[in-house]
Amino acid sequence: MSKNLMETEETNRLTREEEEEDDEDSREAWTEEENEEDGDENDEDLEFLCLFCDFKYSSCDALFDHCRLTHFFDFNGIRKDLGLDFYGSFKLINYVRSQVADNRCWSCGVCCQSKQDLQSHLHPSVNTKDVKLLLDDDKYLNPFMREDSLLYSFDGGEEDEDECNTSFEKEEIVKDFGSVCIDDDDTAEETELNAKTYNKDKKTVMACPNGHLSLASSSKIITENGMDYGENARSVESDPKDKQSRVCIADVVEKDIKKINDSYFGSYSSFGIHRDMISDKIRTDAYRQALLKNHSLLNGAVVMDVGCGTGILSLFAAQAGASRVISIEASEKMATVATQIAKDNGLWRSKTDSEGNKSCTGVIEVVNCMVEDLDKSIQIQPHSVDILVSEWMGYCLLYESMLSSVLFARDRWLKPGGAILPDTATIDLWKVISLQLCSDMHWTWFVAGFGKGGTSLPFWENVYGFNMSYIGKEVVEDAAKFPIVDIINHHDLVTNAAVLQSFDLATMKPDEVDFTATAELEAKNDTLDHKATTCFGLVLWFETGFTSRFCKEMPTVLSTSPYTTKTHWSQTILTFREPISVASSKFTAEGSAAVGTDACPASKILLRISIAHATQHRCIDISLETAGVGSDGRKRSWPAQMFNLT
């Protein structure tokens, strides 16, 4: 009987195990089905396609927040400004989609070469009333995109507003918006993308090519490179509908900027970079002459050196008789190096020296920080510096975005009437020589057109006797996509040089760093003899001046012109997508040929160039709009080009 009982129990046990396995299999199958259904539901949730890029969103509100933050398109704001009803708003969506499909800016009408160029070009609307006139066309009542669910969902009801108001009330208990993350997954995902801020015309602007969030507003004050974004953040704070989309953006921006700054300053830990800069005699001799040959300016002065590197400029200032030199360097390694160099040369100012040690002979004190954080590192009175010196110039002058830091230091610590070195810049050497002794000069960019000799075409046309020009043409086409930093021989310039923009460092404002300017180029008469030649693109260069405004004994010029000895800055080259044939106005055009061709060369090239902070911190974006004017007055425009110097 015991045996039967044992057999019965064993049978029951096996039966239970089989049933449990079946249940487990059923649960797993059920879970898989649920996951598949959830995945399908998630895909279905993302039903609203962005007006400008390929991003999809589960709600109209999330999509419009994305368009406003990323593409400068404030749908609700425009509806309110123009007083659009449902049908007007319906037309607006179709109008924007139709313009984007043609790579055309919905606001200003500029036609771009590609979708990527359009993403980079998008900007806040200047006059939306012009757009309203276009919306009078009933063709925009026809859906531009088939099955566009946005057209029938954008007019949200009161229920949505109540939900938004509830979320805003929750946020009111949070005092520091910079430490809070947004619950909305779509918005949070965007804010994790590479962010970059810049201030233009005292308004916070967002520039986001490729759908990347590039600039944000926040109630938290952000000061970076001398730019104060708090004012713009506070102006947004008055609109509660903006709060949800800006809650954690400040932290994202600051973290991204810190990461890029760490990389940027870390790159200057390489001694090879400093050797290249110090070995650049044009650069170093200009600073040395300005500091050592102007005794009345330097003797007994308090000098601040922003971005001192090895400390070479600080050493010049100390040698020239400065009573105190505050050398600021954000790279920890280079700050240590500069300190040791000052010690090795008997010019280091220790803390005990600065506290009144009468036996002090050193004047240089090195501070490891960004200039914006100097107050946290040392005690220094505002407007107590006599001379501000810095070698801040980058490729195309503004690359590295260090100018804003110099202007921050100027406004914070330079005495009224104090000297800033250099105080001016110009790009054309022969014009600088005639102007450098004047009192007030300006930072000025010049631009000129270059010919075939400025490209790689001549090299590929004869490679050991073989014609490889096919490669050369492709190289030139690729060059039109990116700015190139290289040396251009002045013999290869085929147009005159023209002023692009002028700044005066003693008086300019930080928000003037980004600019848009126009210029007009004409063929060089001394080389053409009324014959046509081809302009393949533009070359930009700069010159800086230590003028007689401050350097009364010995004014000095630092030139990166093609007409002078080359420097480590070289020149910046922007290549046209389509070369433009140019000739003097005396050239006789053939028939009705297109302007810019060999049959009808342009007598003038009209340029509109914008240079601004790029989406990536410390980089710059350059937009180029080009038009040609024939000798008969006819005009031809080419699609806008976008360049990123990174």
Residues with a catalytic annotation lie at 391, 400
H or E element, residue 516: strand 515-522
- Residue whose C-alpha is closest to residue 497's, from 572, 445, 437: 445
Burial of 240 (0-12, 13-18, 19+ CB in 10 A): middle
DSSP codes joined into one string, 250-297: HHHHHHHHHHHHHHHHHHTT-HHHHHHHHH-HHHHHHHHHHHHS-HHH
**DSSP 8-state secondary structure symbol assigned to residue 241:** G
456 in Cβ contact with 472 (< 8 Å): yes
> CA–CA separation, 591 vs 516, rounded Å?
35
Q: Which amino acid is at 440?
A: D
| Count of CA atoms in the C-beta half-sphere (13 A) of 220 | 19
- Residue whose C-alpha is closest to residue 51's, from 113, 107, 101: 101
Structure tokens at 577: 């997508």
> CA–CA separation, 261 vs 618, rounded Å?
8
Helix 75-82 to helix 60-71 angle (10° resolution) is 90
H or E element, residue 403: helix 403-413
User: Which are the contacts of 534, defined by CB distance < 8 A and separation ≥ 6?
Assistant: 451, 452, 494, 579, 580, 581, 582
> CA–CA separation, 312 vs 357, rounded Å?
25
**3-class DSSP state of 543:** strand
Structure tokens at 398: 């503004």
**DSSP 8-state secondary structure symbol assigned to residue 174:** -
Residue 223: how many other CB atoms lie within 10 Å: 12
> CA–CA separation, 310 vs 308, rounded Å?
6
- Which long-range contacts does 251-255 make (Cβ < 8 Å, 24+ apart)? 251/178, 251/179, 252/191, 252/192, 252/195, 252/213, 252/216, 253/195, 253/196, 253/197, 253/215, 253/216, 253/218, 253/222, 254/178, 254/222
> CA–CA separation, 444 vs 541, rounded Å?
9
| Count of CA atoms in the C-beta half-sphere (13 A) of 358 | 0
51 in Cβ contact with 100 (< 8 Å): yes
144 in Cβ contact with 94 (< 8 Å): yes
